[in-house]
Amino acid sequence: MTAEAHETTFRERADRKRTVGVYLLIAAGAIWLWLGYQLLAPFTVNYGSGHSIDCASPVFYDEGDSKRRSYAATEGERCATERDPADLLALLTLSIPLAAAGAFQYTTGTVALTLRRHEDELAHLRAERTG
């Protein structure tokens, strides 16, 4: 393998790492957006034959005059079951390794390419000085 081919392979591998990192970060970001929507948006629960319940968002529910502290006590069990915090926490837990791996891949690819560019510039400056 020639030096040019090795250099091309190295740069392609570093660029591929950056691309994979971006896609992993996008996947983690999409999960975070979905979680934000699930927590902040009001929703409707359909059950039975044409029956439905309007539910407030799990974050912005109004306890009203009852002074009930929990979402399930205020909005009802059907609403609480529909937006179960355990499911949301599981999605958040899944997104953390995606974000960490994406940040690592993107960073290592970017650092490798930056160091190669720096090395190229140094070689060019040395060639100008001696030539």
Q: For 71-112, give the DSSP string.
A: HHHHH-HHHHHHT-HHHHHHHHHHHHHHHHHHHHHHHHHHHH
Residues of the chain with pLDDT under 50: none
Give the up-direction half-sphere exposure of residue 39: CA atoms within 13 A in the CB hemisphere.
14
Task: Please give the residue range of the domain that contains residue 31.
Answer: 20-130
Is residue 1 included in any domain, yes or no? no
The structure's pTM equals 0.80
Per the CB < 8 A criterion, the answer to whether 15 and 21 are in contact is: no
pLDDT of residue 30: 97
Is residue 13 included in any domain, yes or no? no
The neighbouring-strand residues paired with 47 are 51
Is residue 80 included in any domain, yes or no? yes
Is residue 88 included in any domain, yes or no? yes
Is residue 30 included in any domain, yes or no? yes
